[in-house]
Amino acid sequence: MTTAADPASLAVTSPATTHALVEICVDDLAGVLAAERAGADRVELCADLVEGGTTPSVGMIESVLAAVERVGVQVMVRARGGDFVYSDDEVRVMSADARAIAALARSSRVPVGIVFGALTADGRVDESALEAIRAAAGTVPVTFHKAFDDAADLFAAYETLAHHGVVRVLTSGGAATAHEGAEVLTALVARSSGRRMPAVLVGGSVRAHNVSALVARTGALEVHLRAQVASGRGHLVTDESLVRETVLAVAESPRASRPAVVAVDIGGTSAKGALVDTDGHVLRSARVATGGSGAETVTRIAGLLTDLIAGARESGRSVVGAGVVSPGLIDSATGTVRYASTLGWTDLPLAQLLSEAIGLPVAVDHDVRAAGAAELAYGAAAGSRNVVFAAIGTGVAAAISSDGRALEGAIAGAGELGHIPVVPGGELCACGQRGCLEVYFSGAGLARRYAAATGGGRGESPDAAGVIARVGVDPIAARVWSEGLDALAAGLTTLTLLVDPEVIVLGGGVAQAGEALLGPLRERVSAGLTWREAPRLETAALGTHAGRIGAAMLAFAAAGRSEVTRSWSVPVILTDPASAVADAHG
């Protein structure tokens, strides 16, 4: 039955404006701490600013990451002052620096990035050097510094950087100051709104007295400045008052508050919501039970969004969009739920209804596709482009990425791994088919088959985790587990031959069995692929957070701010929320 909420019954919330982020260039620990106290959003950490900035020491980086509490840290990788044309030896040294920074970033509680730039002698982006640094950086995002302004063709250089996955470009528009380059900056900022295009970090004589006008003229969402003055002791120091004046000037501009999004992960019995900032921090969370009808569930989710938006305003945040992930057949292009049996939805324009309710852009996608996108970006599949993410919980579903693009299929049904028939004429599935994979290997399937084999009544037989725990001592549990592994291996072998993934990531509750699952599964999949190598098999790195992270990624994309998610770091996005609002609607 088609169900929908009455849009008139949903409160409308007007979107607020957002301020530009402020990044301060510093070359010592005192400067970093001054910038953080003054309210800066990020620092660019260098050595030798009088030389234009070079790579800081490992000791400096370690000290900064240990000392900061909130501010993001972008670390310069530059072998020397002077021009930006580097020898192979210099690139080798800078690659080693990038690897060291990446190692430190893995345990950082704040976002960490690398700042780099290299050109060829004829003024093009040095793609070879850039790829060497990106490879060394791993999942740490890379910003291209003001070498960009020396490029022969700024727009061609920008497209090249987008192709190589650079997340941000520091530029004055090719002019001596950002004010003089404002026309070019405006054009670059407009291009940055496209999918996977680098953000534009505006720098070049940015000061408190001109930043508001500069932001208004160019549409810039990020600004960069150096706020140093003479110390009287022969060196320069960061002036905290100059930073604070600039931050206040930005805050008082028409872009009034710090941006955030709302991410909602809908399950069978409840929907979990989170307020997420531009660094991926969860600032606040809430949960509501799904309703007794499809229409009631829509109303409750709209209320959840409204409550989190109100909480954002209380903390000086401005929600710019929302991302909602749901089980079922989801047409992400239109935000329509084609069918979700557990929620009572058929052909429901969920994105439209929720957008009308809150007055903000809303993106809707499949929960497993969103979790797969998160694992691809930050988790066990990071750095790969051809990936299968299989969620094995009560049922089984998969997200398939081919050359970095998620596959949805003609009716938004791609990835129904649980309903691949792996046992011809086998046991009956709830879908009406026989021999489906999830009949044999899923949380429900393992528990049901064990109960059937032992004659256990309801409440007496173990769940899937209990079955797995008995494998070494209970022959029936061992048989049910082995037959389940056979079924899963058959499904993954078929999927491998169809889509040729580099890695298969297993998530969901059953995947928590770890090596008890991976070891025998690897053997079975390899045995089924006699003429080719098997893909890597990994367990998910993001756990139950993957759906929320994927929903937040959708939300920033809906708001035209997808570039901010490319600088997220795993320790930050997995941090528990600073505050929570529990059971907002029972």
pLDDT of residue 17: 44
* Domain containing residue 489: 380-540
pLDDT of residue 537: 96
pLDDT-based confidence at 452, cuts 50/70/90? very high
Same domain, 366 and 392: no
In a domain, 545, yes or no: no
pLDDT of residue 236: 87
Token output for 482 = 């082995």
Q: How many Cβ atoms are within 10 Å of 118's Cβ, its own excluded?
A: 25
Same domain, 366 and 386: no
Mean pLDDT is lowest, of 142-151, 547-556, 576-585, for 576-585
In a domain, 568, yes or no: yes
Output helix, strand, coil percentages for the chain, rounded to the nearest 5.
Answer: 40, 20, 35
In a domain, 50, yes or no: yes
Which CATH number is 426's domain given?
3.30.420.40
Number of residues in the chain: 586
In a domain, 581, yes or no: no
In a domain, 584, yes or no: no
Q: Which of 234, 251, 268 is the last residue of a domain?
A: 251
In a domain, 217, yes or no: yes
Number of domains forming the structure of the chain: 3
Task: Provide CB contacts within 8 A for 119, sequence distance 6+.
Answer: 83, 84, 85, 125, 126, 147, 150, 151
Helix (H), strand (E), coil (C) string for 424-470: CCCCECCCCCECEHHHHCCHHHHHHHHHHHHCCCCCCCCCHHHHHHC
| Residue predicted with more confidence, 548 or 460 | 548
Helical residues (DSSP H) of 68-223, grouped into ranges: 88-105, 127-137, 154-163, 182-191, 211-218
pLDDT greater than 70 at residue 253: no
Same domain, 274 and 356: yes
Q: Which of 251, 267, 300 is the last residue of a domain?
A: 251
In a domain, 133, yes or no: yes
pLDDT greater than 50 at residue 410: yes
Task: Provide CB contacts within 8 A for 557, sequence distance 6+.
Answer: 195, 323, 363, 565
pLDDT greater than 70 at residue 6: no
Q: What does pLDDT average to over the chain?
A: 90
| Mean of pLDDT values over 50-58 | 92
pLDDT greater than 70 at residue 577: no
Same domain, 70 and 217: yes
Same domain, 300 and 161: no
Please tell me the distance from the alpha carbon of residue 449 to that of residue 506, in angstroms, as a whole number.
21
| Mean of pLDDT values over 544-551 | 95
- 330-348 pLDDT tens trace: 999 999 999 998 899 999 9
pLDDT of residue 203: 96
| Mean of pLDDT values over 500-519 | 93
Same domain, 366 and 433: no
pLDDT greater than 70 at residue 477: yes
Which CATH number is 134's domain given?
3.20.20.380
Q: Which of 204, 232, 251 is the last residue of a domain?
A: 251
Same domain, 59 and 124: yes
Radius of gyration of the chain from Cα atoms?
26
In a domain, 546, yes or no: no
Same domain, 423 and 517: yes
pLDDT greater than 80 at residue 511: yes
Same domain, 136 and 56: yes
Helical residues (DSSP H) of 252-389, grouped into ranges: 294-314, 350-358, 367-378
pLDDT greater than 70 at residue 585: no
Packing angle of the helix pair 350-358, 294-314 (nearest 10 deg): 40
Same domain, 247 and 262: no
Same domain, 358 and 451: no
- Report the chain's terminal Cα–Cα distance, integer Å: 26
Please tell me the distance from the alpha carbon of residue 244 to that of residue 418, in angstroms, as a whole number.
55
pLDDT greater than 70 at residue 513: yes
pLDDT of residue 455: 85
- 150-168 pLDDT tens trace: 999 999 999 999 999 899 9
Q: pTM value? A: 0.70
Same domain, 71 and 95: yes
Percent of the chain, pLDDT > 70?
Answer: 93
Percent of the chain, pLDDT > 90?
Answer: 73
- CA dihedral angle for residue 433, residue 439, residue 442, residue 443, rounded to 10 degrees: 120
Mean pLDDT is lowest, of 28-32, 99-103, 457-461, for 457-461
